[in-house]
Homo-oligomer: A and B are copies of this chain.
Amino acid sequence: MRATVIQAPHDIRVEEVPDAALRNPGDAVVRVVRACICGSDLWAYRGESARKPGQRIGHEFLGVVEETGAEVTGLRPGDLVVAPFVWSDGVCTYCADGLTTSCVHGGFWGSIGEEGQSDGGQGEAVRVPFADTTLVKLPPEALSDDHLLTGLLALSDVFGTGHHAALGAGVRPGSTVAVVGDGAVGLCGVLAARRLGAERIIALGRHQDRTDIARTFGATDVVAARGEEAVAAVRELTGGQGAHAVIEAVGTEQSMRTAVGITRDGGAIGYVGVPHGSGTGLDLGEMFDRNIALRGGVAPVRTYIEELLPGILDGSTDPAPVFDHAVDLDGVPGGYRAMDERTALKVLVTF
């Protein structure tokens, strides 16, 4: 089959690789129908996260079950399913807590673990371990609804990650929320905050095409500034206090510093931007004096799919607009370039 590999920084290729195939009785093989490129894939693309030459890449996909192992009971060939970006056994102590990303038997698509190279999401098919607990069935009729299918793909990572940030930030009905980062995760944070009942949502971003999406997602205010200037603007909008719930969806020192600066005393930062850089950007003295909490991390999106799915199916929360560019499998290398150069927000891959 054909799948995306990363040979070196800035060298993404689509190559012939071994067919996805059952290995364990709990596995399923899923033929990929939709995949996409994540902002976190760019860290590998830019050489800031190490990858082996030729390693598979991509961790977001939905598709149709092609084959199931002997122990798979909840899925059948032909089922339309979405995969969270981590597989999980569903029974360990962490899975029992809903923290599927810490599953003792879990792993990331495209990673190289005890069983060797796992399939990546940006390829024709994927072997899915623990298929019964990892995959979530979708209504089969979605297969014929392009827009819906795109929205459902967001359950694989980006929308669940925005939801995780909103929960970490403590968004509640009536909250004032600020969102640092106008990438796809930040925008999904806006959407998740609105879904959780936020009254006011301040989106920080300097790309109007993105903040326009933020507004359709529920942002009530836009701050087109960074750093100190952004902090001053958010404080001005909030009577000098800042936002009780702040979503940090970038992962740089500067974005974290901004997040601290715009959080109201006693509030929380929900952070889902993968941390990069040598420092944390956290002024612990300021956080201490003002009782600012920090809560977040890699999102256990598997746990959120059942909760988020109905709103996508009924159209009340539609994350599809974060995908502003579509390619086929051969177009994936160009998709990385487009995201790296910021000419695309998030690239959809169709098969």
Contact = CB atoms under 8 A, between A and B. Distances in A.
Contacts of A99: 265-266, 291
A103 to B, nearest CB: 10
Interface of A: 93-94, 97, 99, 101-102, 168, 241, 256, 265-266, 268, 271, 274-275, 280, 282, 284-285, 287-298, 300
What 4 pairs between A and B have smallest CB-CB spacing?
Answer: A291-B297, A102-B265, A293-B295, A99-B266
A294 B294 contact: yes
Given A280-B284, A282-B280, A293 B294 contact: yes
Given A293-B293, A293-B295, A288 B265 contact: no
Nearest to A269: B294
A266 B98 CA distance: 9
Contact of A101 (B268, B284, B291, B294): B291
A93 B244 CA distance: 12
A187 B266 CA distance: 25
Given A94-B265, A282-B280, A275 B288 contact: yes
Contacts of A265: 94, 99, 102
A294 B295 contact: yes
